[in-house]
Amino acid sequence: MANTIAYSLFTDFDINLFKAGKHYKLYEKFGSHIVTVDGVTGTYFAVWAPSAKSVTVIGDFNFWIEGEHPLNVRWDDSGIWEGFIPNVGIGSIYKYKIQSSHDDVKTEKADPFAKKCEHPPKTASVVWEDNYSWKDNKWMNNRKKNNALDAPYSVYEVHLGSWKQKNGNDFLTYEEFAEDLVNYVADMNFTHVELMPLMEYPYDPSWGYQLTGYFAPTSRFGNPDGFKFLVDAFHKKGIGVILDWVPSHFPSDDHGLGFFDGSHLYEHPDRRKGYHPDWKSLIFNYGRNEVKSFLISNAIYWLDQYHADGLRVDAVASMLFLDYSREDGEWEPNKFGGRENLDAINFMKEMNTAVYENFPDVQTIAEESTSFPMVSRPIYLGGLGFGMKWMMGWMHDTLEYFAKEPIYRKHHQNDLTFSLNYAFTENFMLPLSHDEVVYGKKAIVDKMPGDEWQKFANLRLLYSFMYTHPGTKLIFQGGEFGQTKEWNFQQSLDWHLLEYKVHEGAQKCVKELNKLYRKEKAFHQKQFTAEGFEWIDHGDHENSVLSYIRKGENEKDTIIIICNLTPIPRENYRVGVPKQGTLKEIFNSDTRDFSGSGNYKNTKIKADKTTWNNRENSVELNLPPLAMIALKYQ
């Protein structure tokens, strides 16, 4: 076998951009690429290892023998090693054997830029070349409209390994998901799907949040072309795809990024900034420019090569604060004496700038649990530049309220209304995510009090409140039909529950709420501004009733919402309304179709000149038990 041939893809590469942390398409040069040199086809390899004394490629094509295929270090002091190996093609398995300048330490590493990895527990990289022809032109051309902040944005969060399985506990393939999952999400009227991390990860119980293959879709469900086929299938059904992205930390597995070339190359060398005590993982050195280029290139890669429509950025709070999960003495203040991680903040601003400059029609969404200001505000105004932020306070307060027996709710109504005090300080997404149904927290429906009927009435009311509250929406798999067991990443959802009417009713309710949210402009056109919301009455604690108005750009789109948060029906309940006219009930979470009582309908209601709730006009209504009704002027 011929040894490595000197060859470079870096002839038109701006090394200074890389060193400055401003090169955002590193994947075009680094990693393994099929090329033809002097009429011979093979694979070109390039890796960044500035502390290396030598780097060789080992693999199935040279019996994993060190030294058979050495790479050459570039002359430009960039720390890049490269070379061409003839007759090595797609499917070849390889790693880098690196001898460090530090004490001759040797490491054996997977390729940080590999486009494909072996199926865990195997850990090598696989030579891969893209061979997929996209068919989503229509979606991509219309994406700006579908992804805009004034468009409906309801997200179904999915963990592919446990959404559905076959033959007991085998994974479906990407192609099978493109049939089953895509059709299900479309039928449920969700606008987007969010996939929990699909970049290659070695350890199943991490749920994908400990990545080793940042540029490779996990091989658990097939190959990279299969994943593109899945994204394409979503787009053809008009569904956007959000990918969970984890720039906050990475595992210390031997084949991963840690101690890559015998030095702290990717992780921060100071353990107070480079080690995560909660997750026993390593933290990127956000102040190192080449690392910033690596991470931002990775964000761009999934938007560019896989047509992703958004990135949900995991654990942003852990990046923002130097004292996150640390005791006194375990962290060092920044140069101004504060607890903010200035390097991480600058990284996030640069990442969001690069994403929106290159892909103005996508969204970045921060999972951020603190009161750090202006997370989803433009960078030029002093914000971090995210498109949206998870509203963790709403989630916590709302679930805590709904867990209370209705008889006690009158003492806690402020818990449910408090979110409107700060609802417009950020572009908030309301999440009922996987984190709320694990570790003894119970399934969403099982958090609800009462007998089975009341539990499911409460569940439908919870979703109805969520969909009519300002902000975008996210529901984790199984929540939509009242999965009764806590989420288990190793098991399929309990789809057999849909044989029971209460579960089928919950599913139908969510399907109709998605339809209502999409159809009615009042629910999305002004979902991030105070102009789109107005209280009618949040003070009826004794009856535990809330009433409010949602508004679109046109007055004719106005919708009135009334929530009865107890199991006691309220007949002849009077509510103040904006004007006279005839109102029609357009949604009722208590209908028989949803397994409700179906006994308390409001057909056409005429507003009269009776002053109520400080308004000149009002209506009398029948409020069903544990239910929401929505009314619209005819």
Which of helix, strand or coil describes residue 124? Answer: coil
Strands 213-217 and 199-200: antiparallel
Of 317, 313, 315, 283, nearest in space to 298 by CA: 313
Residue found by looking up tokens 């539990």 in the block: 455
Residue found by looking up tokens 């992780």 in the block: 267
Residue found by looking up tokens 């987007």 in the block: 192
Which of helix, strand or coil describes residue 599? Answer: coil
Q: Which of 314, 368, 520, 585 is flagged as catalytic?
A: 314
Is 367 an annotated catalytic residue? yes
Assess whether the previous peptide bond of 121 is cis (omega < 30° from 0).
yes
Q: What is the rounded radius of gyration, in angstroms, for the C-alpha atoms of the chain?
A: 27
Backbone angles phi, psi at 65, to 5 degrees: -90, 125
Beta strands in 101-142 (DSSP E): 106-109, 116-117, 125-126
Both tokens assigned to 9:
């893809």
- Rounded distance, CA 25 to CA 358, Å? 11
Is 340 an annotated catalytic residue? no
Could you write out the three-class secondary structure of 171-208? ECCHHHHHHHHHHHHHHCCCCEEEECCCEECCCHHHCC
How many other β-carbons are positioned within 10 Å of the β-carbon of residue 356?
A: 18
- Rounded distance, CA 239 to CA 260, Å? 39
**CB-CB contact of 555 with 601 (8 Å):** no
Determine the distance from the C-alpha atom of residue 142 to the mean position of all C-alpha atoms in its chain, rounded to a whole number.
21
Which of helix, strand or coil describes residue 628? Answer: strand
**CB-CB contact of 20 with 290 (8 Å):** no
Written as one letter, the residue type at 248 is S
Q: Which of 82, 111, 367, 540 is flagged as catalytic?
A: 367
Both tokens assigned to 468:
């009519």
- Dihedral of alpha carbons 335, 336, 341, 344, sign: negative
Helix (H) or strand (E) holding 149: none
Q: Which residues are catalytic?
A: 314, 367
